[in-house]
Structure 1
Amino acid sequence: MSIRLSILEQSMLSEGQTAKEALDKTVEMAKLADELGFERFWVAEHHGSRKLASSTPEILMAHIANETERIRIGSGGVMLPHYSPYKIAENFKLLEALYPGRIDAGVGRAPGGSQLVHYALREGQPRNVDVFPDQVKELRSYLNDDVTGAKLHPKLYAAPEIDTKPRVWMLGSSPSSAQLAAEQGLPYMYAQFISGSEAIGTYATSLYHQQYNRAGEEDTPENAVSIFFACAETEEEAERIAQGFDYSMLWLETGKTSEGTPSPETIAAYNASPSEIARMKQNRSRMIVGTPQSAKRQIEALAEKYAAKEVMLVMITYDYDDKLEAYRLIAKEMLGS
């Protein structure tokens, strides 16, 4: 089975790096992905963090789309409970008008930041995720110019007028998100890199296919899976690269202060406890690590388990050049580029 490859980039800063440098590398990565034949390039939404530079995916998407030629550009994702579906529809319709047939609107309900950030985004109002299903319906109505679905008034129209439309993807890491994607007839991206549970993921995917509403946005179900990734010419080099992920996730989970993805020197100077080492091993369920040949086998096995024709790769590592080389290697192995 031919598997499409895509990339989710979080624009995470490494130690000693500025946000501008991380964003410049993100654009460089997107241009490389475009050249190598990757299917889509999505950017994340994170708020209130000095270690993550991508806070507004729609703005970054516009810049990346202008610097690339054919690859689909999307949000991974927009955290809809923070916002007005009407404004999100306008943002994505404008992007689609500028770059027809290339825009993905990936939506989710995760917080994307701290409780304080939630209040700031909503001007002190509590964040209600229970309205998320209705928000997705409303967003779709505006994107499809189906004004009967408008929440406030049946004549409310989201500009601009366009001949094509952005493709809405449901993002999630639980059976409930899969069921919602099925109910609304949307393509579904399961985030194993967040969940870490293949058992939950394959169950969610099974529910998605069983309950898919063929009267929805898409005629047939389409699902993909996203996972952390590290690849190099040798297993030893791939393991070295993967340590950036290991320690970044450990320190995030334990609340340890850091200045970004740790350098090899910072990692070497840290004396991890047995429990921390055990936790890093557990986190590897969220990751594919290996040579191009080994990584290909792991990607193919993952796609088979999820009945997916597409796998989205996410990398956390200190050196952005290691990311670029990893994507070159896996593209050569799997895409022939």
Structure 2
Amino acid sequence: MVRYSVLDQSPVPRGGTAREALQNTVKLAQLAEQLGYHRFWISEHHLETLAHSSPEVLLPHIAAHTSTIRVGSGGVMLPHYSAYKVAENFRLLEALHPGRIDLGVGRAPGGIPLATAALQENKGAGGGDSYPQQIEDLVHYLSGSSDETHRFRGLKAMPEIDTVPQLWLLGSSGGSAGLASGQGISYAFAQFISGQHGGSVVKSYQRRFKPSILQKEPQALAAFFLVCAETDEKAEWQAKSMDVQMLKMARGETGEGILPPEEAAEYQFAPYEIQLVRENRKRMLVGSPETVRSQLLQLSEEYGTEEFMLASMNYYFADKKKGYELLAKAFS
């Protein structure tokens, strides 16, 4: 049985506002809960066209306006922050909403180099890659480990509670999968970022998984962009907005939000852009509910996983809601 979840990035469409985008994110979380989606994750970005700059601030608001769906970050960009502070933020969230909190972390910058420089302004220039150490520290702090060899031995992440937020490592490569399996934590493969088919990566993670203090069995999901409409033709019409947006972002044009499909329909692809669109479509599931359901069932076999995280970037919020409704009905 395939289990499906929602990733939302609070996209700000052209002509829209960040406040409206954030309000729509809360509405979408409530709808996802009503429709039976398993998780609702939000991302961290430092861009004008995506309103999620601080998942740890928005998450408690979403959790307070829902009651059963798991909510989490997809994800916190860990290199910008202290692992100890991230652990405390999410332990506090777990204390407020026990059994419902996911902590997804990644290493991508989530924005332009200038934003990264500002976020890491006061971090020492120690050199090397500290990300694996940060993941190890998170496991230590979240689990309440009493490891006497840890450099901050005796330090506990507060508050002290009897449940633990579920830790996920987000990535799109074998390196991140190896880190997740070695630390014994859950792994989310972000195909919507790279377009690389991750079946072999996820299966490698599952084979190499080493049980940890946080979990005994591997747990993996794969994430895709989603455009679902009543017919394949209508879905293709809606998806062209994303096709054009991805081309613009590849050219460094990040200041304008996604175009309405009526305007995107008029865009004429240059010959070289057609191949780029084909490559970008590897990041997306596009079609009617029956088409997308068939794609997910096939991907479930190829990935060896039963959970998928789906991110919709439709220009019209009504189209986004409709897509999730149609897919839920197809799997009901």
1:53 aligns to 2:51 (yes or no): yes
- Give yes or no for contact 2:178–2:205 (8 Å, CA) kept in 1: yes
CA RMSD in angstroms comes to 1.6
Q: Counterpart of 2:232 in structure 1: which amino acid?
A: E
- Residue 6 of structure 2 aligns to a residue whose secondary structure is strand
Output aligned runs, 1:166-185, within 5 Å. Answer: 166-185=165-184
Which has the higher mean CA deviation after the structures are superposed, 93-102 or 281-290? 281-290
- Give yes or no for contact 2:240–2:265 (8 Å, CA) kept in 1: no
1:322 aligns to 2:319 (yes or no): yes
Shift of 1:256: 3.0
Distance 1:53 1:128, change over 3 A: farther
Q: Counterpart of 2:318 in structure 1: which amino acid?
A: D
Q: Which residue of 1 aligns with 2:269?
A: 272
1:191 aligns to 2:168 (yes or no): no
Distance 1:76 1:28, change over 3 A: same
- Residue 248 of structure 2 aligns to a residue whose secondary structure is helix
- Give yes or no for contact 2:48–2:254 (8 Å, CA) kept in 1: no
Distance 1:127 1:109, change over 3 A: farther
Q: Which residue of 1 aligns with 2:120?
A: 122
Shift of 1:216: 5.1
Q: Counterpart of 1:133 in structure 2: which amino acid?
A: P
Shift of 1:149: 6.8
Output aligned runs, 1:21-100, within 5 Å. Answer: 21-47=20-46, 49-100=47-98
Q: Which residue of 2 aligns with 1:102?
A: 100
Q: TM-score, normalised by structure 1?
A: 0.94
Q: Counterpart of 1:42 in structure 2: which amino acid?
A: W
Which has the higher mean CA deviation after the structures are superposed, 253-262 or 312-321? 253-262
Q: Any gaps of 5 or more consecutive residues in structure 1?
A: none
1:239 aligns to 2:236 (yes or no): yes
Q: Which residue of 1 aligns with 2:257?
A: 260
Shift of 1:128: 6.0
Distance 1:305 1:58, change over 3 A: same
Q: Which residue of 2 aligns with 1:155?
A: 154
Q: Any gaps of 5 or more consecutive residues in structure 2?
A: none
Shift of 1:270: 3.2
Distance 1:53 1:129, change over 3 A: farther
Distance 1:257 1:119, change over 3 A: closer
Shift of 1:151: 5.1
Partners of 2:67 and 2:149 in 1: CA distance: 34
- Residue 163 of structure 2 aligns to a residue whose secondary structure is coil
Given candidates 209, 227, 231, the residue that maps to 1:230 is 227
- Give yes or no for contact 1:41–1:74 (8 Å, CA) kept in 2: yes
Distance 1:150 1:25, change over 3 A: farther
Distance 1:60 1:215, change over 3 A: closer
- Give yes or no for contact 1:118–1:127 (8 Å, CA) kept in 2: no
Instruction: Report runs of 4+ in structure 1 exceeding 4 Å deviation.
Output: 124-129, 149-152
Distance 1:149 1:59, change over 3 A: farther
- Give yes or no for contact 2:181–2:210 (8 Å, CA) kept in 1: yes
Partners of 1:234 and 1:306 in 2: CA distance: 26
- Give yes or no for contact 2:14–2:259 (8 Å, CA) kept in 1: yes
Shift of 1:143: 1.2
Shift of 1:141: 1.2
Which has the higher mean CA deviation after the structures are superposed, 113-122 or 85-94? 113-122
Partners of 2:67 and 2:207 in 1: CA distance: 36
Q: TM-score, normalised by structure 2?
A: 0.96
Partners of 2:320 and 2:265 in 1: CA distance: 21
Partners of 2:122 and 2:265 in 1: CA distance: 43
Q: Which residue of 2 aligns with 1:206?
A: 203
Shift of 1:165: 0.9
- Residue 129 of structure 2 aligns to a residue whose secondary structure is helix
Q: Deviations over 1:4-30 (max 9, x none)?
A: 100111111101000000000111100
- Give yes or no for contact 2:45–2:53 (8 Å, CA) kept in 1: yes
- Give yes or no for contact 1:142–1:149 (8 Å, CA) kept in 2: no
Shift of 1:197: 1.3
Percent identical pairs in the alignment equals 47
- Give yes or no for contact 2:8–2:40 (8 Å, CA) kept in 1: yes
Q: Which residue of 1 aligns with 2:305?
A: 308
Distance 1:284 1:255, change over 3 A: same
- Residue 238 of structure 1 aligns to a residue whose secondary structure is helix
